Chain A
Amino acid sequence: MNAVTRNIGEGAPLLEVRNGTKRFGGLVAVNDVSFSVRGGEVVGLIGPNGAGKSTLFNLVTGVAQLSAGEIFFDGKSITGLPLHGRPSIGMSRTFQIVRLFPGMTVLQNVLMGFHPQLPDGLLRTLLGLRHSLREERRVTEKAMELLEFVGMEDLADEKIGELPYGKQRLVEIARAMAIEPRILLLDEPAAGLNGTETANLGAMLRVLNERGVTVLIVEHDIDFMMGLCDQIVVLDHGVKIAEGRPSEVQSNEKVIEAYLGRRGGNAEN
Chain B
Amino acid sequence: MRSLFRNGNLAIVLIVVVALILPALLSSGYQLRMVSIIWVFALLAMGFNLLYGITGQISMAQQAFFAIGAYGFAMLQAKLGWSPFVALPVAVVIVACVAAVIGLPLLRLRTHYLAMATLAFSLMMVGLTNRWVDFTGGSAGIQIRTITVGDWSMSRAELYYTLVIVAAIGLVIHNFIISGHLGRAMQAVRDDETGAESLGVNVTAVKLRVFVLAAVYAAVGGIGYGLISRQVNPSFGEFPVIVSLLTIAVVGGLGTRFGPVIGAIVVVLAPQALARFGEFETLIYGLCLGVFLIFLPNGLSGVMERLGARMLRPSSAPGRRSVTKNIVEGGAR
A245 CB → nearest B CB, Å: 31
Nearest Cβ on chain B to A113's Cβ, whole angstroms: 6
Taking A99-B192, A130-B1, A157-B318 as contacts, is the C-beta distance between A111 and B177 under 8 angstroms?
Answer: no
| Chain B interface category by residue count | 35 or more
Additional 19 contacts, C-beta under 8 A, given A130-B1, A133-B1, A179-B199: A83-B194, A87-B198, A87-B200, A99-B192, A99-B194, A101-B195, A103-B255, A104-B191, A108-B184, A111-B184, A115-B184, A115-B188, A119-B181, A121-B182, A121-B205, A122-B182, A132-B180, A136-B3, A136-B180
Q: Is B201 an interface residue (CB 8 A)?
A: yes
Residues in A neighbouring B191, C-beta threshold 8 A: 101-104
Closest 7 CB pairs of A and B: A157-B319, A87-B200, A116-B200, A101-B191, A83-B197, A118-B181, A99-B195
Chain B residues within 8 Å of A107, by CB:
319
- Kindly identify, within residues 86 to 141 of chain A, every residue whose CB is under 8 Å from any CB belonging to chain B: 86-88, 93, 95, 99-105, 107-108, 111-116, 118-122, 125-126, 130, 132-133, 136-137, 139
Tell which of B181, B200, B213 has the most Cβ of chain A within 10 Å.
Answer: B200
Q: Judge whether A104 and B198 touch: CB under 8 Å.
A: no
| Cβ-based interface call for B33 (8 A) | no
Asked if B202 is an interface residue, CB under 8 A from chain A, the answer is yes
Q: A175 with B199: in contact, given A63-B194, A122-B213 (CB under 8 Å)?
A: yes
Nearest CB of chain B from residue A59's CB, rounded to whole Å = 14
Q: Is the CB of A112 within 8 A of B188?
A: yes
Q: Counting CB contacts under 8 A, is B190 at the interface?
A: yes
B181 partner residues in chain A, CB cutoff 8 A: 111, 114-115, 118-119, 125, 132, 136, 139
Q: Is the CB of A115 within 8 A of B209?
A: no
In the bound complex, what is the Cα–Cα distance between A157 and B320 (angstroms)? 8
Within the assembled complex, what's the spacing in Å between the Cα atoms of A68 and B320? Answer: 47
Q: Does B187 contact A (CB under 8 A)?
A: yes
If the complex has contacts A101-B188, A101-B191, are A113 and B182 also in contact, measured as CB distance less than 8 A?
Answer: no
CB-nearest residue of chain A relative to B179?
A: A136
Using CB atoms, name the residue of chain B closest to A95: B195
Which of chain B's residues has its CB closest to A132's CB?
B180
Chain A residues within 8 Å of chain B by Cβ, number:
46
Closest Cβ of chain B to A90, distance in Å, is 11
Q: Is A84 an interface residue (CB 8 A)?
A: yes
Contact status A104-B200, CB under 8 Å: no
Residue A21 is within 8 A (CB to CB) of chain B in the complex? no
- CB within 8 A of A113: which of B3, B173, B199, B255? B199
Cα of A100 to Cα of B317 in the assembled complex, Å:
20
Whether B185 sits at the interface, judged by CB under 8 Å, is yes
Residues of A within 8 A of B198 (CB): 61-63, 83-84, 86-87, 93
- Chain B 279-320 residues near chain A, CB threshold 8 A: 317-320
Q: How many Å lie between the Cα of A103 and that of B173 in the bound state?
A: 21
> Which positions 157-209 of chain B face chain A at CB distance < 8 Å?
173, 176-177, 180-182, 184-185, 187-188, 190-192, 194-203, 205, 209
A104 x B201 contact (CB < 8 A):
no
How far, in Å, is B42 (CB) from chain A's closest CB?
19
What is the CB-to-nearest-CB distance from B202 to chain A, in angstroms, rounded to a whole number? 5
Chain B residues with CB under 8 Å of A105's CB are 319-320
Give a binary string over A129-155; 1 marks a CB under 8 Å from any B CB, 0 the rest.
Answer: 010110011010000000000000000
State how many angstroms separate the Cβ of A226 from the closest Cβ of chain B: 28
A156: B residues at CB distance < 8 A = 319
